[in-house]
C-alpha cells in the first residue's frame, strides 16, 4: 500500500493479483493457506480467488482468520461447452448449466460484478483448446481481462519445440496483451459502454516430469510478481473488498507487468490547471488546455490512445499530452520494448 498525490488529490494505491485457483478448484491442488503466505511475502495488498464453479474458498479458515491481506472470494463459471469463462464477485450464487447470456444477465440484475475472462485466446498447439468468449455482442459484463499471464503463455507453447524453455523461463514469453483483445475492449468503450480492464495471473501451479526430475512451474509465487492490477482509492476510503471491487468495476486502476519493474512512483492524471482533476475511470468535460500528466521511474515509451487509436507517443519519464477534443483516452507504456503499464480510460465528454 502506498499513498500517492495526483494533481492535488490524495490516493491509496493497492497492488493485487486477480484470478487465482486453489485446492477447491478441480484443476489446482494448492492449499489456500500457502497461497496467502506467498501473497504476503510478495507484498500484495489483495488477491482474488476464482475457483471453478464453487465458492468454497470463502469458508476456508485461512480466509476467515486473515487480517492483513484482503482476500476477495469470487467464482469462475462457464457455459455447457466450457466457453465464456466469467469471473464473478459480490455474489453467493453459482449458476451451472446456463448459457453465457443467461448468467451475465442474472449477475447484472442481482448486483454482482463480472469480468469476461481470457475472452479471445490463441493457441499455437492443437494439444490445448481455447476457452473463448464466443458471442462478442454479449457484453453485459462490467469489464474484461485484457492481459492474462497463463493465457498468453499457453497461447505460444509448442511442447515439442519450446516446452522446456517455457517451463524454465515463462516470463520471457509474456510480452504484451493480445491485439484482438485490446481492439475488442476499445470498441466497447468507443461505443459508450465504458468497460473497465483488469490484468490477471490465472494461477493454478503446474507440474511436469522431465529427465526424471519433477518441475513445478507457473507457481503462485512466480506469478504474483508478474501481471498485477493496481487500484487507486481516495485516501479517506475504507479499504475493504467492497471498495476494491467498486474501483475495479469503475476502472480506477491500471495493469502492470511487475516483472518489468515496480511502478513505485508512476502516476497519471488529467487536469486543465484549475481545481478539477481526474484519474482513470473518471470523466471530465472538455475545455481548452486540458492535459494528461504522467510521471515514471525511468525513461519509457508512452503511447497516447484515443478511442482505440494511437494519436501521439513520447519517450520520457515525465511530462504531459495536450488533449484537443473529447474522447476516451488511455496510456500504454513500454519499457525496453516490452509492455509494462496499461491504464484504464479517462473519459472526456
Residue 204 near residue 28 (C-beta atoms within 8 A): yes
Is 267-348 CATH 2.60.120? no
Closest to 306 measured CA to CA, from 292, 287, 289:
292
Residue-wise pLDDT for 199-212, tens only, equals 999 999 998 777 78
The reply to whether domains 2-260 and 267-348 share a CATH topology is: no
CA distance 90 to 107: 9
CB-based contacts of 169: which residues, under 8 Å, 6+ apart?
A: none
Phi and psi torsions of 273, nearest 5°: 95, -5
The confidence score (pLDDT) of residue 213 equals 80
β-pair partners for 10: 5
Q: Give the per-residue SS3 of the chain.
A: CEEEEECCEEEEEEEEEEEECCCCCCCCCCCHHHHHHHHHHCCCCEEEEEEECCCHHHHCHHHHHCCCCEEEEEEEECCCCCCCCEEEECCCCCCCCCCHHHHHHHHHHCCCEEEECCCCCCCCCCCCCCCCCCCCCCCCCCEEEEEEHHHHHHHHCCHHHHHHHHHHCHHHHCCCCCHHHHHHHHHHHHCCCCCEEEEECCECCEEEEECCEEEEECCHHHHCCCEEEEEEEECCCCCCHHHHHHHHHHCCEEEEEHHHCCCCCCEEEEECCCCCEECCCCEECCCCCEEEEEEEEEEEEEEEEECCEEEEEEEEEEEEEEECCCEEEEEEEEECCEEEEEECCEEEC
User: In Å, what is the CA distance from 251 to each residue of 20, 120, 246, 294?
Assistant: 20, 20, 9, 17
Closest to 2 measured CA to CA, from 45, 36, 42, 40:
45
2-260 adopts what CATH topology? Answer: TIM Barrel (3.20.20)
Residue-wise pLDDT for 261-278, tens only, equals 999 999 999 998 887 999
CB-based contacts of 66: which residues, under 8 Å, 6+ apart?
A: 36
CA distance 97 to 29: 25
Locate the domains of the chain by residue range.
2-260, 267-348
Residue-wise pLDDT for 286-343, tens only, equals 999 999 999 999 999 999 999 999 999 999 999 999 999 999 999 999 999 999 999 9
Residue pLDDT tens, the chain, 349 long? 999 999 999 999 999 999 999 999 999 999 999 999 999 999 999 999 999 999 999 999 999 999 999 999 999 999 999 999 999 999 999 999 999 999 999 999 999 999 999 999 999 999 999 999 999 999 999 999 999 999 999 999 999 999 989 999 999 999 999 999 999 999 999 999 999 999 999 999 998 777 788 878 999 999 999 999 999 999 999 999 999 999 999 999 999 999 999 999 999 999 988 879 999 999 999 999 999 999 999 999 999 999 999 999 999 999 999 999 999 999 999 999 999 999 999 999 9
- Which residue shows C-alpha cell 495493469? 255
- Which residue shows C-alpha cell 506467498? 38
Longest CA span, the chain: 67
Amino acid at each position: 500500500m502506498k499513498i500517492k498525490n495526483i494533481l492535488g488529490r490524495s490516493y491509496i494505491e493497492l497492488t493485487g493479483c486477480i484470478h487465482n485457483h486453489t485446492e477447491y478448484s478441480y484443476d489446482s491442488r494448492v492449499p489456500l493457506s500457502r497461497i496467502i503466505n506467498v501473497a504476503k511475502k510478495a507484498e500484495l495488498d489483495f488477491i482474488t480467488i476464482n475457483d471453478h464453479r464453487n465458492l468454497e474458498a470463502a469458508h476456508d479458515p485461512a480466509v476467515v482468520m486473515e487480517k492483513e491481506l484482503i482476500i476477495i472470494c469470487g467464482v469462475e463459471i462457464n457455459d455447457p461447452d466450457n466457453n465464456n469463462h466469467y469471473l464473478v464477485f459480490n455474489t453467493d450464487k453459482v449458476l451451472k448449466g446456463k448459457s453465457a447470456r443467461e448468467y451475465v444477465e442474472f449477475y447484472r440484475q442481482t448486483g454482482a460484478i463480472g469480468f469476461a475472462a481470457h475472452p479471445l485466446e490463441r493457441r499455437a498447439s492443437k494439444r490445448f483448446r481455447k476457452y473463448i468468449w464466443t458471442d462478442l455482442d454479449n457484453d453485459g459484463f462490467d469489464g474484461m481481462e485484457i492481459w492474462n499471464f497463463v493465457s498468453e503463455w499457453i497461447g505460444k507453447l509448442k511442447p515439442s519445440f519450446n516446452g522446456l524453455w517455457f517451463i524454465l523461463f515463462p516470463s520471457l514469453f509474456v510480452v504484451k496483451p493480445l491485439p484482438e483483445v485490446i481492439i475488442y475492449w476499445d470498441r466497447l468503450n468507443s461505443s459508450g459502454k465504458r468497460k473497465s480492464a483488469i490484468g490477471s495471473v490465472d494461477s493454478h501451479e503446474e507440474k511436469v516430469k522431465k529427465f526424471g526430475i519433477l518441475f513445478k512451474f507457473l507457481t503462485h509465487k512466480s506469478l504474483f510478481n508478474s501481471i498485477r492490477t493496481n487500484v487507486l482509492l481516495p485516501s479517506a476510503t475504507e479499504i475493504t473488498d467492497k471498495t476494491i471491487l467498486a474501483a475495479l468495476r469503475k476502472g480506477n486502476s491500471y495493469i502492470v507487468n511487475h516483472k518489468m519493474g515496480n511502478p513505485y512512483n508512476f502516476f497519471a492524471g488529467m487536469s486543465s490547471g484549475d481545481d478539477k482533476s481526474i484519474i482513470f475511470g473518471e470523466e471530465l468535460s472538455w475545455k481548452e488546455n486540458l492535459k494528461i500528466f504522467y510521471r515514471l521511474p525511468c525513461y519509457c515509451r508512452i503511447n497516447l490512445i484515443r478511442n482505440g487509436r494511437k494519436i501521439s507517443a513520447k519517450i520520457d519519464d515525465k511530462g504531459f499530452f495536450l488533449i484537443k477534443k473529447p474522447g476516451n483516452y488511455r496510456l500504454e507504456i513500454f519499457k525496453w520494448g516490452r509492455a509494462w503499464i496499461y491504464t484504464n480510460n479517462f473519459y472526456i465528454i
